[in-house]
Amino acid sequence: MPGEENLDHQVKERREKDQCEANKLEVYADDLLCSDRVACVLEQRQKKDERLLNEAILQFREQFQQTTSRCEFDLNDPELLKKQEGVRILSGLTGEDLSQKNRLKKQQEQLRAWTLQQQEELERSKQQLQQEGGGCCQSHCQCRERPRC
């Protein structure tokens, strides 16, 4: 019964092959589980390192980079006027022209004085011209009135 022996041998080989493949799959599954655990541990370490780094950066900023120590702080300090000694905050808005009425009145007075001065200078120059050459001016005026040919 050589055919039966061959068939038994083939069945035995097939079972050994299946067992070998099952062992390989089990080893592969064990490797996957081990790799997964390692990945989880590494991910936890990375998150912990990031958290510690962020805490260290925050602590450094709080300790060494305070807003009051920046060179631009004086420009952006909303409490600057309150901190300065001897500076009195006026009632009303900062930048508000409290003496606007007085300033406008003085400007109008200056403008009035300037226009009066200009008028006086004009009158003086007219009188001076008349005194220097009164006849010439009138003869000149007569010349202008004559029709030209």
CA distance 132 to 138: 12
Query: 8 pLDDT exceeds 80?
Result: yes
- Residues 102, 103, 108, 110: what is their CA dihedral angle, to the nearest 10 degrees? 110
For the segment 29-69, what is each residue's pLDDT rounded down to a tens digit? 999 999 999 999 999 999 999 999 999 999 999 998 887 77
Largest CA distance in the chain: 167
Q: Cα–Cα distance between 107 and 128 in angstroms, integer?
A: 31
pLDDT of residue 4: 84
- 135 versus 115: which is more confidently predicted? 115
Considering the entire predicted model, what is its pTM? 0.39
